[in-house]
Structure 1
Amino acid sequence: MSTNQKSLGYGRDIFREDHEAFRSTVRNFFQKEIEPYVRQWEDDGFYPAELFRKAGKLGLLCVGIPEEYGGGGGDILHHMVLHEEHGYSPAGASLEAGLQTDSSAYVILDAGTEEQKRNWLPKMAAGEEIMELALSEPSAGSDAKGIKTRAKRDGSDYVINGSKMWVSNGPVLTQLLVVAKCKSDDGEDGLAIFIVPAGARGVTVSRKTELLLRGCGGVSEAFFDDVRIPAENVLGGSTRGGLGAAMSTITVGRMAAASRFLAASELALSLTVDYTKERSAFQKRIFDFQLTQSKLATMKTEIAAGRAFVDSCLARAASGTLSNDESAMAKLFVSEVEGRVMDESLQLHGAMGFSDENPISKMYAFARVHRIFLGTSEILRLSIARGM
């Protein structure tokens, strides 16, 4: 790792000393506990669940959750640092979702009953429970109201039938937050969230779905066949407001995504600059060709523009004044910048960029999906336009 890569992320005005110290802890964890083993995990098919317990012991999980619920007691910027460090690590793309289960924790924090918070959040912070939101279906992605999975009341239980896809960390998760249609007490159809053990009778979680990116992380499908869940597992104790609860963290989620995408772009640029200075063609460094410099300058400029906007959004997120439109714009802009940066980075690496041995190849593949999840670029543009 070059001196420039070691300094990535540090020295920005929005972060305090405790944020910088947390960044160092996370970065050391990636360098010692993840990067040396990622190739073996790719061969194995998935990283081990033990990784979460190791991270939990160091206080890396649920760092923004209050201490009274077992979290780290930090703020939203600690949460963003964890996401950035996924992006700054050469192994980050292979991990895919990786340690980023905090979105589920925030859903429980925002919408769960007091008993649910005290039961689940400490276990998630310790890495003992790995919980993911199960929202998307074959016919319902951006249009969450098209969900077909249904929960029906049966005595003191609910019986769930349906299926989900794109469930992060499928092979290692222990609990699912399942969004399902359900009739409320007044007979109206609504959406509710159910805490469903991955090992419950009638639950089948598939093997990792084969994707364009072949890393050590991934997603799975989940199937529910007459899965019986006690009423106490209804998130918040109510069968109303499930979609609102699921979407309650979307603003923070999009900022976390933008932070990770931008960090990965910075890493890609640094790796590409190093490579073009080391590689020669026609008795000249690749870096010294005018066209190469033009491409690198454009990449640096777009990243700098993204950094200025993202950091201003993070400052507003820390003060509680960030709007949905701003987070949508950040995710939209940065994901598209990342796509261009990864494309040019791979191009400037030549055939070596296409090699599985080079982190740029996985970073390139992972970047492509970033214009799709958490709102496609098209959906985000429509959302932003509606606010004009």
Structure 2
Amino acid sequence: MDGLDALPGLGFDRPIFSEEHNAFRTSTRRFFRKEVEPNVRQWEKDGFFPAELFRKAGQAGLLCAGIPAQYGGGGGDFLHVTIFNEEHGYSPAGAALESGMATDTSAYVVLFAGTEEQKQEWLPGFAKGEIIAELGLTEGQSGSDPASIQTTARRDGDDFILNGSKMWMTNGPILTNLIVVARTEAGTRLFFVPLQNTKGVTVSKHTELMLKSSGGVSEIFFDEVRIPARNQLGGDDKRSLANALATVTVGRLVTAARMLAACELAYHMTVDFVKNRKAFGQRIFDFQNTQFKLASIKTEIAVGRGYLDQLLLRNLHGRLDPVESAMAKLWISEMEGRVMDECLQLFGGAGYSNEYPISKMYAFARVHRIFLGTSEIQRVTIARTI
């Protein structure tokens, strides 16, 4: 991580952000510098980063900054959530957490789909970092299609009995709750399920992934798990699933923001590296091939930044079309793959070493074309509008 403080002030000086937004960015960046970056190596040895990290972020006022204050949030707007995700990407330790700290989207599921009582009860816990939750949609035989899920919830008096499983659950070992999508007699519904010390719930050890990190995913199993009916998100509102899945649109947007931030960081790290390393009597930077590659990277990032900031403004004013977030997620995730590949190549053998953040950033970039809907799913979404 050495020397990165000297890099340009990434993320600032963008017209869409106010001084208050920039102050929030400064606080968030300070949090990653102080609480995350010095510790990720040890967390990798320990096997996972601690749940305490969420509580520290909550105490710092960084979680749910865009959730209304009446529900315990920061009372800000969607750009605050975007900034938190961007700082996740701007941190050289961000990839070592995987998607770890970026869980505000789950709070938005409760905000969009929950009843007033549920929002009052649960959202303050998200903001304090006491509730660590994910949306449980994906199963062994189904991914982006809610109609194909096999997990069931049957009514039993004042309870529901849950059976099934969910996989690829981010932060699995430290999750406190899962928002489970399940089939009921009345249709597909969502349930806010406590995971810790709940009879019938089994959380697997985190799945070994291509990316060796301090974060990870788990598979979660439900065997006759009894859940109070009041934990049905949105109650009997038939629109609750559609309301919840609307968060996918904004989730893709903030994820694209994190990817683009990581590209910007990788670019500046690479420029710094090639200007300080020599081959055949000259700096790597002085080869025309290096300069051309960096010129292409800089241009791609600039194009992505222009489009994404336009969409962030559209979403802020309630004019974002879901297909636009799909386009942003598709293009930026595939651009990120190209950028990380070129940057790692310019690092040479050092780029393949775990001692340099670029190695993890490269590996983490690969999953971005898969999760939150694969590139193929994004193309299907876009093609339907043609």
Matched residue of 2:144: which SS? coil
Confirm or deny: 8 A CA contact 2:304 2:332 kept in the other structure: yes
Cα RMSD (Å)? 1.1
Question: What is the number of residues matched between the two proteins?
Answer: 383
| Alignment counterpart, residue 357 of structure 2, candidates 356, 359, 365 | 359
How far is the alpha carbon of 1:4 from its aligned partner?
Answer: 6.2
- Show the counterpart of 2:302: 304
Aligned equivalents of 1:3 and 1:373: distance in 2? 31
| Alignment counterpart, residue 83 of structure 1, candidates 82, 85, 88 | 85
Confirm or deny: 8 A CA contact 1:204 1:222 kept in the other structure: yes
- Show the counterpart of 2:140: 138
Unaligned runs of 5+ in 2: none
- Show the counterpart of 1:187: none
Alignment map for 1:5-24 (pairs within 5 Å): 5-24=7-26
Aligned equivalents of 1:244 and 1:216: distance in 2? 33
Instruction: Give, as a single letter, the amino acid of the residue that structure 2 aligns with 1:192.
Output: R
Instruction: Give, as a single letter, the amino acid of the residue that structure 1 aligns with 2:13.
Output: G
Measured against aligned partners, the alpha-carbon deviations of 1:216-267 in whole angstroms (never above 9, x if no partner) come to 1111100000000110010011273453133110111011011000000000
- Show the counterpart of 2:49: 47
Aligned equivalents of 1:109 and 1:93: distance in 2? 28
- Show the counterpart of 1:197: 194
Alignment map for 1:1-388 (pairs within 5 Å): 1-2=3-4, 5-184=7-186, 190-199=187-196, 200-238=198-236, 240-388=238-386
Measured against aligned partners, the alpha-carbon deviations of 1:141-166 in whole angstroms (never above 9, x if no partner) come to 12221100001111111101001001
Aligned equivalents of 2:252 and 2:233: distance in 1? 23
Aligned equivalents of 2:77 and 2:18: distance in 1? 11
Q: Displaced runs of 4+ in structure 1, greater than 2 A?
A: 1-6, 239-243
Q: How does the TM-score come out when normalised to structure 1?
A: 0.97
Aligned equivalents of 1:50 and 1:237: distance in 2? 31
Aligned equivalents of 2:69 and 2:8: distance in 1? 31
Confirm or deny: 8 A CA contact 1:193 1:239 kept in the other structure: no
Matched residue of 2:234: which SS? helix
Aligned equivalents of 1:209 and 1:125: distance in 2? 27
Q: How does the TM-score come out when normalised to structure 2?
A: 0.97
How far is the alpha carbon of 1:379 from its aligned partner?
Answer: 1.2
Moved more, 235-244 or 18-27: 235-244
Aligned equivalents of 2:322 and 2:6: distance in 1? 33
Aligned equivalents of 2:244 and 2:170: distance in 1? 15
Matched residue of 2:15: which SS? coil
Confirm or deny: 8 A CA contact 1:346 1:354 kept in the other structure: yes
Unaligned runs of 5+ in 1: 185-189
How far is the alpha carbon of 1:6 from its aligned partner?
Answer: 4.1
Confirm or deny: 8 A CA contact 2:92 2:357 kept in the other structure: yes
Confirm or deny: 8 A CA contact 1:183 1:239 kept in the other structure: no
Measured against aligned partners, the alpha-carbon deviations of 1:123-143 in whole angstroms (never above 9, x if no partner) come to 110011111111100111122
Confirm or deny: 8 A CA contact 1:152 1:160 kept in the other structure: yes
Confirm or deny: 8 A CA contact 1:63 1:73 kept in the other structure: yes
Matched residue of 1:229: which SS? strand
Matched residue of 1:363: which SS? helix
Aligned equivalents of 1:352 and 1:240: distance in 2? 54
Confirm or deny: 8 A CA contact 1:191 1:239 kept in the other structure: no
How far is the alpha carbon of 1:114 from its aligned partner?
Answer: 1.1
How far is the alpha carbon of 1:364 from its aligned partner?
Answer: 0.4
